[in-house]
Each structure stands twice: as C-alpha cells, then as structure tokens.
Amino acid sequence: MQLTPRPTGTPVTATYWASHAWLGTHVEAGVALDVAGGRFAAVRTGVETPPPGAVVLRGLTLPGLANTHSHAFHRALRSSVQVGAGTFWSWRELMYRVASLLTPDTYYELARATYAEMALAGITSVGEFHYLHHAPGGRPYDNPNAMGEALVAAAAEAGIRITLLDTAYLAAGFGEKPNRHQLRFSDTTADAWAERAAALRGGDHALIGAAVHSVRAVPADQLATVAAWADERVAPLHVHLSEQTAENDACVAAHGRTPTRLLADHGVLGPRTTAVHSTHLTAEDIDLLGSSGTGTCMCPTTERDLADGIGPAAALQRAGSPLSLGSDSHAVIDLFEEARAMELDERLRTRVRGHWTAEALLRAASADGHAALGRPEAGTLEPGAAADLTTIALDSVRTAGPVPRMAAQVAVFAASAADVRHTVVAGRHIVRDGRHTMVEDVPRALASAVAAVYR
C-alpha cells in the first residue's frame, strides 16, 4: 500500500474509494482518495476494499473534466440550428435571434440547467466566454454586470467551478460599427469594457478572466487594453482565432497581416492566453502560437456542426501550444466525444492513425483545460490537487468487455457523457449514481429554461 500523508492538523472530511482510477499514466485498481479543505490530502493505492465510511466509486475514476470554451445561451439553439443548410454566417443569424430574447433571469435559469448538464457529463469547471452584457439596444442594466453575475450564480447552483471570461466585443467587423444585434454585446470602447469588467467579483468557485471576441470585433488599437487588463490581474485571456477564412481575408485586407500576427503585434499572445478554434492558420501562425506558449482550445463538434473545418491541432501541439477542449455551442455536451473527435478528425485529414494517446487526450480534457482556465491546481488525482473527479461506468453497453487496464482507451474511444456515474467538485458529491444532487430534474430544468427563452 502506498500512503501519501496529509498535512498535519488538516482534518479529512471525506474519503472516496475508486475501484479503478486513472493516475495520469496508467489505471490503478483500488485507490482511496482522502479529501481535506476541498483538496486531495492523500492518494492511497493498493487499497483492495473500501475503507470504513468511504464513498464507493465503481468504474473508472478520472480527474474532473474542464470545458474550456462555452457559450451557455447557445444551449437553447440545440436542434433548431441543425435544420436545413448554410454556413457559419447563416447559423450566426439564428444565434443573434436567441441572444436578443434573453434577460438576466432567463439567462440564469438556462445557464444553471446547462451547467447541471455539464456536471452530469463529468465536467467540474467551465470557461464561459461571455459577451451578452447589456439589454436589447445596448442599454446597460441598472447593474451593468447583471448578465455575468447570473452566470456566476448559475454555476454555483449547479455545483461546478466557472472562469467567467468577460468578453470585449466592440465592432461588427474591421471598421464597422456593431449591428443592431451586437449592441447588446458592445461596451463601445475597450476602456469602457475594462471599467465594467473590473467590477466583477469571483469567489471560491468563480474566477474572472478576459476575452477578445475576435480580431474583427475588437479594433486593433484596442487589443492592448484588453491584454493589459488580464496581465494586471494575472488572469486567463481567451480569443476566437481564425475560425473562418473570411475573417482571415478581411484581416489581411485591413491590416496586411493574419489575425495571429495582429494579436502577436499587440501583445495578446502568451502562456495565459488560449486561442479558440485556430482552424485556418499559416505555418507562421502556428509558430507564433507555439513559440509564445499560447494555448489552443479545440471544439471539434462545433467546428464540424458549423462546417468550419479541421484545425491543425497536432501541428500546434508540436510547436508548443498546449491543447484543451470545449463544447462551445453545445450541440452536444460530451468531452469524451470532443477528445475522440480531435483524434479522429486528424485521422481523416491525414489518413494516418494514432496522433495522440488516450492518456494525452484525457490530459487535454482535464489538466490542460483547467490550466487554461486559471486553475493549474486542478485536473490530477494527486495530493494537493483540487478534489475534483468524475467516474464513468465500465459495465455499460459502450464500455463493457475490455480489461480494466485498458479503461483509459475505453473512456476516450467508446464512452460518452451518458456513462458518467459520479462527479465530485472540491470534495462535494455533485452527481451521485447518475443523478444531480442539487438540480433535482435536469432534463425538466433544461426544457423549462429553453421554453422560457422563446416565450
């Protein structure tokens, strides 16, 4: 038996016993995890039977998953935007329609239900790329951060952590004023955005970060203001990057350089920055992202759903860009699917198999995602790490059959969110035996919240 002692005087508040656990490099049978102060105080291996009083987790226990890129209100688009044909730009018109309908109250209910769905999928932390700031027409609410605070409260009620990436969204395009839909998003200037965002407050479950919506939505001469805001707070900074070739073409026409080069020239890239999508990059772009340590968040389901394309994830990682994963528009909320899709899409693109191991894909879905959200202490089952975990069944129709030592491969290449049985956040049992302990009926909450948006 291996015993990692807890710090002297720190009381253990819970012990979880995993029949099998992924410890970063391999699957171990019989692992006891002691929790103290919301962190793992000890991780004991070779524990053949559950200790007295321990909570039993049968299946494969993993670190809690990190959903690095989310737009919570897009959950109301599920199914409706899958009707008919079109492109990203036609999809965007439908998205604007839903954005125009939300209030702080309906946004709270929708986000609470969406974050509860994430907990059921094993997600313990979400990066919320938040740009729906104001009332229709652009009028600030009496509380200018009413919408952002609704998201923070929703995450607390759903039991998960949130990094609220308050987003600067100031223009419709290069040299274009916001259109009537985008007035809700715009603070008019980066200085006004920074003043409003500075009033946001986090908490034990919430961090406040920043985002540049895109180079088309933040004028070049205002990019440095957003980057400086994040630097001063040592906060995460995220940005949609080169999701569409049309954006690349417009950026070159306006500035004579690619979006990646524009961001680099204005101090946006760096180890605390995560570029989302990065679908259409040049070789120089890839080198700029990798050499600066800028992370990359891939959202394969959304990128496929919107017909965006397949980004150069493998090349970015080889260049030095850490990879994370997001469910973005929430066509589905399933990070096992996102991890699997990143590998399988690369196989389609290259016609070669095996670009990442299952272990590397699980790290993208956990430790590297948490780091991108400003939580480097999360994402591992180790003493001192945040006590976040999820357990998937190894006896479902998808996962039954393989020997337990191959459970990491099963998780990535066969399992789905439907296989999640337990989710624990800061030592608190949020999902128990497949049921959310804080939101009584998540499907009903989702149906009610989506209906309220359209009412």
Please identify every residue annotated as catalytic: 277, 328
Sign of dihedral through CA atoms 305, 311, 313, 316?
negative
CA distance 392 to 433: 10
In the structure encoding, which two tokens stand for residue 353, read together? 């198999």
Of residues 387, 453, 391, 437, the one with CA closest to residue 417: 391
Residues contacting 57, CB < 8 A, separation 6+: 16, 17, 18, 19, 389, 391, 421, 422
Collapsed DSSP state (helix, strand, coil) of residue 97: helix
Instruction: Judge whether 238 and 273 are in contact, CB under 8 Å.
Output: yes
- Partners of 43 in the beta sheet? 33
Query: What is the distance between the alpha carbons of residues 18 and 40, in angstroms, rounded to a whole number?
Result: 14
Alpha helix ranges (H) inside 159-299: 190-198, 220-233, 245-255, 259-265, 283-291
Instruction: Write the single-letter amino acid at 27.
Output: V
For residues 214, 218, 222, 227, the Cα torsion angle rounded to the nearest 10 degrees is: -30
**Cα 370 from Cα 352, distance rounded (Å):** 29
CA distance 169 to 292: 24
Q: Is the dihedral of CA 325, 330, 335, 337 positive or negative?
A: negative
Chain centre distance of CA 252: 30
Question: In 3-state terms, what secondary structure has residue 342?
Answer: helix
Element (H, E) at 152: helix 146-158
What gap in Å lies between CA 378 and CA 366, rounded to an integer? 8
Classified as helix, coil or strand, 30 is strand
What are 296's two structure tokens?
Answer: 């990359």
| Three-state DSSP class for residue 336 | helix
For residue 405, the tally of other CB atoms under 10 A from its CB is 12
Do 109 and 452 contact (CB within 8 A), yes or no? yes
Distance CA 229, CA 209 (A): 9
